[in-house]
Chain A
């Protein structure tokens, strides 16, 4: 496998920035439930979905409260969403953070808040279970949704991502096979799919989160590399920054990435896959695929 030096460098820079960042989590006990760009059904997580046992959520960094929404006020533009009440704070570095799932402070005017100031109280779910919250980061200058883990302090993570399945899908109907079970494929173009999760710190299946990056090499040549740093708006679709590919075309299932077409040659083809979480923990698999003309 080729070392992915640029990716390592990026992670190091990002980790350094996160250490230097003045941003702090809106609660001291954060359990991340969904990672940035993680797919659930037809929806993508635009930030981080988290749980907390705190009774208040606080401003991640100093800034100006520019938007406060509470669905119960009877104000106009009471638009429906899963966010519930939310607060948006504009920071001096052109970033804006949105914290949702709270009852905002009863601000009558836009106010300046300091890091750690309360943004609102948390209403627990009707079943007594903790309410899910979201943290989104918008880059006002670039018009992008930013992976909050690029901005916020690192979250300890003991476990590496897990590759659940790797599939090759051909053009013919039913020409789909798992590389975990098959090693013989006909020569030609195949579409490569990877099913992988970041299990986080829990054994609970519900805490399986999305990956940060996926790389693939065929016979030593890079055929795919994508890291989920930011999302851009491309003709009304989320596009992955750096690749320009529509997110929906890359992450095609709840944990399934479509890496694109690869060409299998006659003889042995070596396919190497590397999946990473944001903390840089990685898992890899190498497959020897025998290409035959039959």
Chain B
């Protein structure tokens, strides 16, 4: 039987039937095994470590600190846990940097892996953003930045509470209840101010700044809520993309950059939106529950996320086009993901699972 040669009308109908059957088989395969038909990326578990038996302080060097639920965990860059303890009062961590409020001495303690850096008497609300250290005023109306010696760089009081902050290497973006973002440099000089407008109720819900400080993302306003991308011009940031959202959540929802400033992501309703900032192409991925953690593998173009609610979590791997590649439910309430090379490290409550990406 020839599929493409001359044939009778009966042969043609048989051929059509075969084509339909083959198409159905492919659809069925994609539904049952939703993964790329090219090279498959697998997450192969390498090691699982329970942290409950770990010491509460470091005995060996570590590379990262994380807050997971009500606990603090220190890990090597390979994901091996070093210590695990209940989080300190108002603790904030970033990399190996740590800060917390010591009630007995009424001061904020700031430390790195090598030991104490400085302390701030009378200050209570520390906050790390990358390698930059800030304190909030009691009421979220004020923000102060310090250098890593504890010297105050700048301080601002505002007449609208701060609802979102983000920092790049030199800029700090402060979003507030009045619907305005203000950009400060490392001296506290204002580098721009922007009010997205376009909504009945101006509010900034979340903001992010790209590592190269060329783009700022915003979730702003209510009725409607809007997603905006701002681009740095010669003098100030101006909008280059905006989208009205049906989301009506009156609180901050996830937003950020992936792959430098190649991709922007945000969550609206129950969907993860992935926007290519070069082409404005947008992929939408349905989420089950809230987004708990998200990482992006640039060489493979893969997004790995954990979603869920309460102690039910789901590990997803997606392509950047939004195609689901892996779906794996598990039990954990507090979750975070990070990656180092081809390793994906999943911290889930009191367990660390180290996985390796493998291509087959």
Which residues of A come within 8 Å of B, CB atoms? 41-43, 46, 64-70, 73-77, 79-83, 88, 90, 96, 98, 107-111, 134, 136, 138, 140, 143-145, 231-233, 236-238
Contacts and interface: CB of A to CB of B under 8 A. Distances in A.
A65 B250 contact: yes
Interface string B201-238: 11101100000000000000011000000000000000
A66 B127 CA distance: 25
Nearest to B334: A74
B141 interface: yes
Contacts of B139: 43, 46, 81-83, 134, 136
A64 B201 CA distance: 9
A64 B290 CA distance: 24
Contact of B140 (A81, A107, A144): A81
A75 B158 CA distance: 23
Nearest to B255: A76
Contact of B250 (A83, A109, A144, A145): A109
A18 B249 CA distance: 33
Contact of B163 (A67, A144, A236): A67
A88 B250 CA distance: 9
A90 B202 CA distance: 10
B148 interface: no
B253 A76 contact: yes
A138 B178 contact: yes
Interface of B: 90, 92, 122, 124-127, 136-141, 154-165, 177-178, 188, 201-203, 205-206, 222-223, 248-255, 290, 292, 334
A66 B122 contact: no
A236 B165 contact: no
A213 B75 CA distance: 56
Contact of B206 (A77, A96, A232): A77
B249 A66 contact: no
Q: Closest 4 CB pairs between A and B?
A: A236-B156, A109-B248, A80-B125, A77-B252
Contacts of B159: 138, 143-145, 231-233, 238
A64 to B, nearest CB: 6
Given A43-B137, A79-B127, A138-B178, 7 more contacts: A68-B250, A74-B334, A75-B252, A80-B125, A81-B136, A81-B139, A82-B138
A80 B90 contact: yes
A41 B250 contact: no
A138 B177 CA distance: 9
Contacts of B248: 109-110
Given A68-B251, A75-B251, A138-B160, A80 B92 contact: yes
